[in-house]
Amino acid sequence: MQRLGEFKLPAFFNYPPYFTLQPVRETREKQVQLWKELILDYCRNQKVFVVGLEEDFPLFSNPVIERSLSHEAKELFLSALVNEGRAEWMDKGHKKCLILWMRIQDWADYIVNFVKENGFEDSVMTVEDIRSGFESRGTDLAGIDRSVLMRALRLLEQKGKAAIFRGTSTDDEGVKFSV
């Protein structure tokens, strides 16, 4: 079984036709399904948030079998994720895609748990603390995409579980939890 770092690649990744868009509908549906799962699994495993279509992304080519995805195929697979709410295009030209391997709602729940477990109720944290603080180490919050984190925090704010303080720069934005 081929690996990418710690990540175990599925068998279909070594089967050349999966790198060519299939013309028959049922076969293509299956193909898209497998790629969607692979992209989500990989991003979750490697904590990848942004996939650039014009940059090197390890899943988009397989040097072992000398196959790589066409631009059309990449866009189709990511669009399928976008349609399911598991990804969002970051620009109109569809060059960059934000992968939500956890939905914003799930991130919000995750943060609430994190806050409870570490006793941060009613205390103030900076956004940077959440992303790279000591307590975040080893959790999914370590290195979380800033925009994803902010959206989860704003969702919590709407629910009255957090208050965001806007600082003078993005570096000192803070948040007070009241969960």
Partner 1 sequence: MRRRPGIAGLQTAAATRDQYRLVGENVAKIRTDLMKEQLETFRTQLEEFARKHKNDIRKNPTFRSQFHEMCAKVGVDPLASNKGFWAELLGIGDFYYELGVQIVNICLETRPQNGGLIDLQELRNLLCQRHKATRESVSEDDCLRAISKLKVLGSGFEVISVGKKKLVRSVPTELNKDHNAILEMAQTNGYVTVEEIERKLSWSSGRAVDVLMSLLEEGLAMIDDGHRDGKRRYWFPCVSPISATSGSDQKN
CA 110 to chain centroid, in Å, comes to: 14
Sheet holding 174-177, edge to edge: 124-126, 174-177, 162-165
Work out how close the CB of 44 gets to partner 1 at its nearest, in angstroms, rounded to a whole number.
Answer: 23
Site string for partner 1, 23-52 (x = CB under 8 A): xx-xx-xx----------------------
Structure tokens at 86: 């598991």
Binding to partner 1 by CB under 8 A, coded x per residue (else -) over 133-162, reads: ------------------------------
Least distance from partner 1 to the Cβ atom of residue 77, Å: 15
Question: Which of 55, 68, 113, 121 contacts partner 1 by CB under 8 A?
Answer: 68
How are beta strands 61-62 and 67-68 bridged, if at all? antiparallel
- The number of C-alpha atoms within 13 Å of 19 and in the hemisphere containing its C-beta is 17
Per the document, the length of the chain is 179
- Contact between 22 and partner 1 by CB under 8 A: the answer reads yes
Q: List contacts with partner 1 (CB under 8 A).
A: 2, 11-12, 14-20, 22-24, 26-27, 29-30, 64-68
